[in-house]
Structure 1
Amino acid sequence: MTYELCIDIGGTFTDCLVEAPDGGRHIFKVPTTPGVFQNGFMNAIETSAEGFGMTLADFLQKVDRIVHGSTVSTNALVERKVARTGYLCNAGHLDVLTIREALPKPVFDWRLDYPDPYVSRGRTFGITGRMDAAGNELEPLDEASVVAAVDALRAGGAEAIGVAYLWSISNPAHEIRTREIIADMWPEVPVTLSHELNPIGREYRRTIATVIDASLQPIVSSYVRALTGALDAAGYDKDLLLANCMGGMMPPEELIRRPIYSVMSGPTLAPMAAQQLLPGRNLIVADMGGTTFDVSALRDGAPVVSPEAWIGPDMLGMAKIDVRSVGAGGGSIAWVDAGGMLRVGPHSAAAVPGPACYGRGGTQPTITDANLVLGYLDPDHFLGGSMPLDRAAAESVLSPLAETLGLSIEALSHAIFTTSNNTMVGLITDMTVKEGIDPRDSSIVVGGGATALHIAEIAREMGITEILIPRFAAGLSAFGGLISDMRREEVASQLHASDAFDVDRVNGVLDDLYAAGKAFLDRAGVPEERQRFDYVFLARYRYQSWEIEVPFMPTDGHITEADVEALVAAFHDMHERVYSVRMDGDVVEFTTWKVRATGVRPGRIAPAGMPAATSRSATPKLSRRVYMHERSGMVECPVYFGEELRPGDTLDGPAIIEEPTTTILVPQDARVTLDSEDNYQMLLGDVA
């Protein structure tokens, strides 16, 4: 009789989703503790223990597995609170981090200040020595210049070093020797080598990933050790797994070794949860937390993976599940700009002090304060009644803004509500319409405690009619952590043209990648029967600038001469799918090879799907005045308590459904049914 936990640290709350021995799922929320996140982590476990009537020590004895999604590395990058990092590159190539791949936008704004490089010129050192693209040594490594650079970095207070030399992916000897020199001189400093971390041909992407990884080494290792230390002190000695940016899990020591995989790892768990809830579907996953609104997408049941994730002005340089964020969380602050326009976000009241209605000293109006004034939140039922809200405090911070704009408090609150919704619609548009995807072909899966208040208006704007709101929506990312597999991606660059394809060399690369992936799974203790390996190549037409990713499955991990034609055909098919054009007569260039190693989670939770539910009219518990857009004002609205609803219960809008950790706003043109898997199905449109 054991429990499994996933703890997801957000900007305002830390969520703990517990899978009980009977299969039931329970959510517990505590305030996030910025600066000492491990305290909030342990508080969440202790609160969960109390919820099951146990002491922390007794509860941990019954916990078999803890998984964790962290924002520590993401916050460090966004706030630039990372380790002082040195960068060693080839002499004459000091500006890779400055030039980048040119700025993404706006390209014609001559007034734009060019952003500073991730590593300053003062900690950037050119090292004499050079390899060519074929891996031939053109100039030997000048070890004296390495020694001088390390001496200067040490004297200047550097805390980590990234090494990225040209064509190290073809011959890494110079990078390896550089690390040996650093280890002899300064053994305690963490060092990241580009050919080991991200062996791709794109110079900037390989370099930026290298220095980001190096800069996170002290921060992530310190956090993970503090976390494991707190668990050890509490008596926990079972499995702890940490989320990575590919929507999977890694043991702590693996994430310490490659901390860049922890960047934006928490939000990647939400699409994994949606994949489990509605397998094989086109989905949009909307997750509104206290600080941000996060959006991801699934096509035919597979999460969209992006090779171009950005952190501020810098690219991450690593492939990750495509999750995009905007500052429109419950704590986002409403304000008036110089032109007299109402704006919401991106700044947030965060966990400390939080929205004014939390009663913790917040002094600025937020989305949560507006939702309370609109009647969407019950001040006595928030978080199941464990955290009463102060409506008077919300009105006091909204009043000055209402006077400035000449609006009533209710009208201002609705303006804040719709303004934030428009921001969210814009983000979904960026991920769908601007990527050539028709959002009307998708359903929405809701995550986050506040999303279900906003989602109907957002879906209507996007032309989407089907919404799934799990009872545990507030812990959607945490649920994704519970059901996620162990994952790691191994990458190698090796150029082959379809008219000159060297099968033996490719098989050698695939063997090396498979061995590295298997070693990862073996270190993580995954038995062979739960080990899975997927293969991917990146390719392009000759003279194209960019590659596309194509999955393939070699027989016994190897390809034959006869398989090459099938690989080329697979590329043509994928190119047509992505760009709506194919050029069957053109030469295809294969540039990069990947093996994705997966340790399949034991005892997978069965997919929920969206089963048909037997219709049975539900009975409201009470009513209260709520602002309804369709009626342009406050109206008496029925309120249903989620704890009293049973599978098959159906209700029509307008209505409010209150769950302990989320509240659902049902508009006038919607019908909601609680299905057999405890998910609320909302259908928008004519429900007569």
Structure 2
Amino acid sequence: MRLVGVDVGGTFTDLVLADTETGAVMIHKVSTTPEDPSIGVVEGVLGLCARAGLPPSAIDHVLHGTTIATNAALEHRGAECGLITTRGYRDILHIGRHQRPQHYSIRQRIPWQATPLVKRRHRHVVTERLIPPKGEVLVPLAEDEVRTAARALKAAGISSIAIGFLFSYLNPVHERRAREIVLEEHPEAFVTLSSDVAPQFREFERFTTAAMNAFVGPKVRDYVARLEGRLADAGLAADLHIMASNGGVVTTASVAERPVVTMLSGPAAGVLGGAWAGGLSGRRNLITFDVGGTSADIGIVTEGAFSEATARDTWIAGFPLLTPMIDIHTIGAGGGSIARVDEGGAFRVGPQSAGARPGPAAYGRGGTAPTVTDAHVVLGRLIPENFLGGAMALDVAAAEAVIDALAAGLGLSREAAALGVLTVVNANMANAIRSRTVQKGIDPRGYALVAFGGAGPLHGADVARELGIREVVVPPHPGITSAMGLLTSDLKYDALRTAFQASNGLDLARIADDFAGMEAEIASRLSADGIDPRAARLERAADMRYAGQGYELRVPVEPGTVDGGLIERAIARFHAAHRAEYGHAFPEALVEIVNLRVVGIGERPKPSPPKPFPSRSLGEAMVRMTEAVFAVDGAPQRVATAVFARERLPLGEPIAGPAIVVQTDTTTVVPPGCTLVADAGGNLLITL
């Protein structure tokens, strides 16, 4: 079976082809086409097939990580949306909660007020009311009011409509009937129900999630349809699956209905790829460090498992979203990040990026701003004739010119300015990792740093040194690790029920019914995707908190009959999780079960572990000697540096830094004082 993984980045689109029978792996990169990423995707797939000598029809599956939804939210370029909600709740999307991004600022920018997903004039209210605890109908839905609202939105040119009613997570009957009426009046509308995308309590977050789905939905739906059409026109009959934020892949039909599940599509694939690479060398505690052209994404893998973001942490573009996501932190720091002196005289690098076009000056496409990539070129850490395996020439003179202009403004030498660019961006990256580790009670020194992406191996050792991390893992194909992560993914679907039960009065029958209902829902979705539910893996979980707390912690619930012992063991896990997260627990306190969850996982074919390159001598692996600039006693100094071809490195033979390792998709820098070893798992291990 032949699998293709495609990850669209800000600068390059990365592709990998894996044959599950022969174990062969081939990689490819093309420039991203920002005007329509599907163009670059299909161009890359066809280029990959040509390099492999295969007809497009030979590809069985295409797995895709996309940033369409993320970019639409970050750039606030989505659909003009409407909202139909319960009378009296028109302004929930504007009011939000008492928490604000900056508690004490009177001049702060509040995203949901400054750039609303739904303008107030397009928010309509209707009469209806459901009541807890089971969602009984107190006031019937005023269907004529829904019809009037649908007509008004259609007349205003609104074709994407969110419907969010109070307590619909307990009973979706009113939302579903409202959708039927809206489609009767406005058949071409894209309709989102809050009970479909986020069936849980917290109406502000639930309504916001529904509004975000409506905001990004048409753009994502149209992109996926274009991509399917282009792939078919190119002769591919392969199944297309899209990476979701939860670390699984879903069908295009699911994405068309719930595009909000792809908000962290690309970064999620990177965490999977990093975990896969670390596992090749037996490392299970990992910090994944994915640095591309525009951003750096950080994830945490503990004992081989990645953590999912909690309700208090799932924010995209300043909006809270109730959708399952891997816990990933992203900052604007990458190879295209622009170095500048700001209005206050401070030296900054990023978050602004030169992007794919014109890109860094060294790309020779007309870029005029100094970037991180230009600094690497000036310092001799990127070898011009080996960039992208020699497929792309670097303009050294252009890189020197932009760094010289920066240096003149700073009163520094060319080399000192370039080192300053790297020092600042490395500090930014290290601080981002601290925010996900040290600030959460995790000691990064007990983890290995998995450095990948086109720029990750250039920075991995320096960032690890700042954090006290002793080992850096560079995957077999660092520049396309996210694309490889796509190939290691499974079909994954989430179901959720809000329970609101206290430990002193549990309704075990209701809990059992909720789990059974969710498992049936998951089985139905897997069956629709051609997966036998009996072969799928179901995982239960519960969100719990102490009575009076505002947020929950998620703990696993073992399979089997729901009885008192099963729930007691889950509550014991909650106490342990609370102690690990906050440093204390209250075993005698009342515990609330807030949400119940089921995750359904349908396993997919996986690529074989990479075969190690034939071992050669160190002399055969050396390409040449060069001079690269490193900081020695705080000052830039040119140091004789050996350049090696990765595919020729002997296994297990240590190489003392400084050294540079080149390959098609990235360059690995081994600074002075570090040692590199190529291991049998296919990784490079850098020890500090």
Question: TM-score over 0.5 for the alignment?
Answer: yes
Aligned to 2:240: 240
User: What is the CA–CA distance in structure 1 between the aligned matches of 2:23 and 2:174, rounded to whole Å?
Assistant: 54
Q: Aligned pair in 2 of structure 1 residues 103, 375: CA closer, same or farther (>3 Å)?
A: farther
CA contact (8 A) 2:556 2:570 kept: no
User: What is the CA–CA distance in structure 1 between the aligned matches of 2:3 and 2:503, rounded to whole Å?
Assistant: 49
Aligned to 2:308: 305
Aligned to 2:207: 207
Aligned to 2:402: 397
Q: Aligned pair in 2 of structure 1 residues 421, 404: CA closer, same or farther (>3 Å)?
A: same
Give 1:118 shift.
Answer: 2.2
Asked whether 1:264 is paired with 2:269, we answer no
Asked whether 1:648 is paired with 2:621, we answer no
User: What is the CA–CA distance in structure 1 between the aligned matches of 2:585 and 2:615, rounded to whole Å?
Assistant: 48
Give 1:488's match in structure 2, choosing from 493, 502, 525.
493
Deviations 1:299-341 (A, max 9, x none): 2221121032222221222220011111111111111101222
Give 1:92 shift.
Answer: 1.6
Deviations 1:355-397 (A, max 9, x none): 1111111121111111101100111110000000001111222
User: What is the CA–CA distance in structure 2 between the aligned matches of 1:536 and 1:526, rounded to whole Å?
Assistant: 22
Asked whether 1:73 is paired with 2:76, we answer no
User: What is the CA–CA distance in structure 1 between the aligned matches of 2:306 and 2:100, rounded to whole Å?
Assistant: 24
Q: TM-score, normalised by structure 2?
A: 0.95
Aligned to 1:497: 502
Give 1:427 shift.
Answer: 0.7
> What letter corresponds to residue 512 of structure 1 in structure 2?
G
Aligned to 1:288: 291
> What letter corresponds to residue 18 of structure 1 in structure 2?
L
Deviations 1:454-476 (A, max 9, x none): 11111011000011101301011
Aligned to 1:585: 588
User: What is the CA–CA distance in structure 1 between the aligned matches of 2:475 and 2:56, rounded to whole Å?
Assistant: 27
User: What is the CA–CA distance in structure 1 between the aligned matches of 2:183 and 2:446, rounded to whole Å?
Assistant: 55
Aligned to 1:85: 81
Asked whether 1:671 is paired with 2:675, we answer yes
User: What is the CA–CA distance in structure 2 between the aligned matches of 1:532 and 1:90, rounded to whole Å?
Assistant: 38
Aligned to 2:194: 194
Asked whether 1:18 is paired with 2:17, we answer yes
CA contact (8 A) 1:615 1:649 kept: no
Structure 2: tracts of 5 or more residues without a match: none
Aligned to 2:524: 519
CA contact (8 A) 1:648 1:673 kept: yes
Structure 1: tracts of 5 or more residues without a match: none
> What letter corresponds to residue 11 of structure 1 in structure 2?
G
Q: Aligned pair in 2 of structure 1 residues 561, 317: CA closer, same or farther (>3 Å)?
A: closer
Partner secondary structure for residue 138 of structure 1: strand
User: What is the CA–CA distance in structure 2 between the aligned matches of 1:449 and 1:174, rounded to whole Å?
Assistant: 49
> What letter corresponds to residue 550 of structure 2 in structure 1?
S
Give 1:586 shift.
Answer: 1.7
Asked whether 1:634 is paired with 2:633, we answer no
User: What is the CA–CA distance in structure 2 between the aligned matches of 1:304 and 1:104, rounded to whole Å?
Assistant: 25
Partner secondary structure for residue 381 of structure 1: helix
User: What is the CA–CA distance in structure 2 between the aligned matches of 1:3 and 1:66, rounded to whole Å?
Assistant: 9
Q: Aligned pair in 2 of structure 1 residues 102, 334: CA closer, same or farther (>3 Å)?
A: farther
Which residues of 2 match residues 448-597 of structure 1 at below 5 A?
448-528=453-533, 530-555=535-560, 558-597=561-600
Deviations 1:388-446 (A, max 9, x none): 00011112222222111111222111111111111111111111111111111111111
Asked whether 1:419 is paired with 2:413, we answer no
User: What is the CA–CA distance in structure 2 between the aligned matches of 1:163 and 1:529, rounded to whole Å?
Assistant: 34
User: What is the CA–CA distance in structure 2 between the aligned matches of 1:422 and 1:29, rounded to whole Å?
Assistant: 29
Give 2:664's match in structure 1, choosing from 640, 657, 660.
660
Aligned to 1:62: 58
Deviations 1:561-615 (A, max 9, x none): 443322322322222222222222222111111100001123564599xx9x999
Aligned to 1:100: 96
Partner secondary structure for residue 242 of structure 1: strand
> What letter corresponds to residue 415 of structure 1 in structure 2?
G
> What letter corresponds to residue 590 of structure 2 in structure 1?
V
- What fraction of aligned residue pairs are identical, expressed as a percent? 35
Aligned to 1:131: 130
CA contact (8 A) 2:23 2:609 kept: no
CA contact (8 A) 2:618 2:649 kept: no
Partner secondary structure for residue 365 of structure 2: coil
Partner secondary structure for residue 590 of structure 1: strand
Give 1:46 shift.
Answer: 2.0
User: What is the CA–CA distance in structure 1 between the aligned matches of 2:605 and 2:66, rounded to whole Å?
Assistant: 23
CA contact (8 A) 2:86 2:126 kept: yes
User: What is the CA–CA distance in structure 2 between the aligned matches of 1:51 and 1:554, rounded to whole Å?
Assistant: 47
User: What is the CA–CA distance in structure 1 between the aligned matches of 2:566 and 2:351, rounded to whole Å?
Assistant: 51
Deviations 1:495-516 (A, max 9, x none): 2211111111111111110011
Q: Aligned pair in 2 of structure 1 residues 636, 570: CA closer, same or farther (>3 Å)?
A: closer
Q: Aligned pair in 2 of structure 1 residues 87, 24: CA closer, same or farther (>3 Å)?
A: same
Aligned to 1:7: 6
More displaced, 338-347 or 637-646? Answer: 637-646
CA contact (8 A) 1:616 1:650 kept: no
More displaced, 16-25 or 497-506? Answer: 16-25
CA contact (8 A) 1:530 1:601 kept: no
User: What is the CA–CA distance in structure 1 between the aligned matches of 2:647 and 2:616, rounded to whole Å?
Assistant: 18
The count of aligned residue pairs is 674
Partner secondary structure for residue 344 of structure 1: strand
CA contact (8 A) 2:426 2:463 kept: yes
Partner secondary structure for residue 384 of structure 1: helix
User: What is the CA–CA distance in structure 2 between the aligned matches of 1:365 and 1:590, rounded to whole Å?
Assistant: 53
Give 1:215 shift.
Answer: 1.8
Give 1:35 shift.
Answer: 1.9
CA contact (8 A) 1:118 1:314 kept: no
Partner secondary structure for residue 269 of structure 1: helix
User: What is the CA–CA distance in structure 2 between the aligned matches of 1:26 and 1:412, rounded to whole Å?
Assistant: 38
More displaced, 98-107 or 335-344? Answer: 98-107
Which residues of 2 match residues 346-425 of structure 1 at below 5 A?
346-425=351-430
Segments ≥4 residues shifted beyond 4 Å: 613-619
User: What is the CA–CA distance in structure 2 between the aligned matches of 1:159 and 1:102, rounded to whole Å?
Assistant: 32
User: What is the CA–CA distance in structure 2 between the aligned matches of 1:563 and 1:45, rounded to whole Å?
Assistant: 49
